[in-house]
């Protein structure tokens, strides 16, 4: 998976969105309350807490933000894009639809644009977290230390996601005839592929999808060695840290009281 599209995309999202993770594949119908494990920055869903017998009485309250925004980023290098407005008639007296041309000069580069994004979250995170902590203390086989829980998600009305798998990939998408300029927030956009060169991965949606999620997890910021707490060493790799934090063979707290259920991001261990 070292050079997979999934890894390239999920790493780029994490680098740009910090506490949010990219859903792979984009369009996977992730729900609040879904849980699973992390493979790098990729969330691998294994179930939903609504289906855990010991949590049947736990009610999740959901808060939805009615405001919306746009989320946009590209890789720092290797990506260029150009928005071309509609032309009523060119030199040959032929109308030209509005379009966007995205070109890449290196492989493993990402273009991400999601419009009319609305945020949803589990409102009673604390109560949910306390129940999961209790369940983990009672039976570590039911709620394992490595499980992460989807506590936040971003729902986008439209999204355009492109990942290059070659160093000369390009794609041109054009809008419907009545659209003057490319704007993902435009309900009449009607994007379609006009041309493309070489190889790449793309997601073009006008039906809405969930491109981003926020995760929470049982965690501790310390290791327990020789009767004293020590912070995680900064020279550990992310993979080493993840193994250490979740291993039943390594004590990461003096007692269960030192565990917390909190927003998951590798940055808190840096």
List per-residue pLDDT tens for the chain, 270 residues long: 345 999 999 999 999 998 999 999 998 999 999 999 999 999 999 999 999 999 999 999 999 999 999 999 999 999 999 988 888 776 666 778 888 999 999 999 999 999 999 999 999 999 999 999 999 999 999 999 999 999 999 999 989 999 999 999 999 998 887 878 888 877 668 888 899 999 899 998 877 799 999 999 998 755 444 444 444 444 445 555 555 455 554 445 444 556 788 898 865 333
Q: What is the pTM of this model?
A: 0.81
Q: Which residue range is the domain that position 193 belongs to?
A: 5-269
DSSP per residue, 167-186: TT-EEEEE--TT-SS--TT-
Q: Which residues contact 217 (CB under 8 A, 6 or more apart)?
A: 147, 148, 149, 261, 262, 264
Total number of domains in the chain: 1
Identify whether the C-beta of residue 75 lies closer than 8 Å to the C-beta of residue 200: no
């Amino acid at each position: 998976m070292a050079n997979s599209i999934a890894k390239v995309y999920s790493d780029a999202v994490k680098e740009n969105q910090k506490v949010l993770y990219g859903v792979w594949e984009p369009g996977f119908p992730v729900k609040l309350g879904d849980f699973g494990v992390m493979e790098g920055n990729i969330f691998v869903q294994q179930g939903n807490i609504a289906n855990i017998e010991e949590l049947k009485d736990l009610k999740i309250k959901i808060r939805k933000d009615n405001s919306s925004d746009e989320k946009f980023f590209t890789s720092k290098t290797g990506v260029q894009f150009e928005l071309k407005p509609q032309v009523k008639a060119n030199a040959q007296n032929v109308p030209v639809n509005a379009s966007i041309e995205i070109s890449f000069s290196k492989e493993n580069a990402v273009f991400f644009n999601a419009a009319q994004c609305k945020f949803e979250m589990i409102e009673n995170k604390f109560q949910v977290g306390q129940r999961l902590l209790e369940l983990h203390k009672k039976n570590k086989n039911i709620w394992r230390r490595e499980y992460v829980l989807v506590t936040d998600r971003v729902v986008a009305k439209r999204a355009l996601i492109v990942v290059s798998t070659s160093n000369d990939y390009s794609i041109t998408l054009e809008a419907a005839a009545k659209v003057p300029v490319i704007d993902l927030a435009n309900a009449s956009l009607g994007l379609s592929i006009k041309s493309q060169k070489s190889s790449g991965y793309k997601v073009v949606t006008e039906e809405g999808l969930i491109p981003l999620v926020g995760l929470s997890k049982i965690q501790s910021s310390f290791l327990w060695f020789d009767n004293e707490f020590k912070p995680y060493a900064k020279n550990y790799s992310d993979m080493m840290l993840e193994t250490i934090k979740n291993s039943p063979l390594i004590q990461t707290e003096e007692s269960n009281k030192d565990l917390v259920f909190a927003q998951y991001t590798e940055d808190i261990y840096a």
